[in-house]
């Protein structure tokens, strides 16, 4: 028997109160993981010439997410926006694109730290 099956069996043989608490903790942990996946932003890539490409794709994200990430990336010196590219507003974008993963709304900002 593997460690995980022993753990599950030991949890199943606990009093009902302990099992209920375990289930609540498990649900809370899974919910926290799911929320953090939705909140986390896309990739930041270093480009030639010192520019940075920031991905803010997804229905829950907007350009303010790119701006916040650029501020953290560049610090007090600030940044200049080199380009912003999106397909938002295009007739080809669906209406239920609510997460970065699997979304067809794309937003990419290229910045240069000053």
Spatial CB neighbours of 39, under 8 Å, sequence gap ≥ 6: none
Residues of the chain with pLDDT under 70: 1-15, 30-41, 60, 89-103
Q: What's the burial of 107, exposed, middle or buried (CB within 10 Å: 0-12/13-18/19+)?
A: buried
> For residues 110 and 52, is the Cβ–Cβ distance under 8 A?
yes
Task: Give which of 13, 105, 112 is closest to 63, Cα–Cα.
Answer: 105
**pTM summary value:** 0.54
- Digit-coded pLDDT (tens) for 46-79: 999 899 999 988 776 788 889 999 999 999 999 9
pLDDT for the residue 12: 58
pLDDT for the residue 22: 76
Domain boundaries, the chain: 3-39, 44-113
Distance CA 52, CA 83 (A): 10
Distance CA 71, CA 67 (A): 6
What is the C-alpha R_g of the chain? 21
């Amino acid at each position: 028997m593997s460690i995980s099956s022993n753990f599950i069996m030991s949890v199943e043989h606990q009093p009902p109160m302990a099992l209920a608490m375990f289930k609540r903790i498990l649900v809370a942990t899974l919910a926290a993981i799911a929320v953090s996946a939705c909140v986390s932003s896309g990739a930041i890539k270093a480009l030639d010439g010192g520019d940075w490409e920031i991905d803010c794709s997804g229905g829950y994200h907007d350009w303010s997410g790119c701006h916040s990430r650029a501020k953290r990336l560049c610090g007090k010196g600030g940044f200049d926006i080199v380009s912003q590219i999106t397909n938002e507003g295009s007739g080809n974008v669906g209406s239920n694109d609510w997460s970065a993963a699997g979304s067809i709304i794309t937003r990419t900002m290229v910045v240069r730290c000053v």
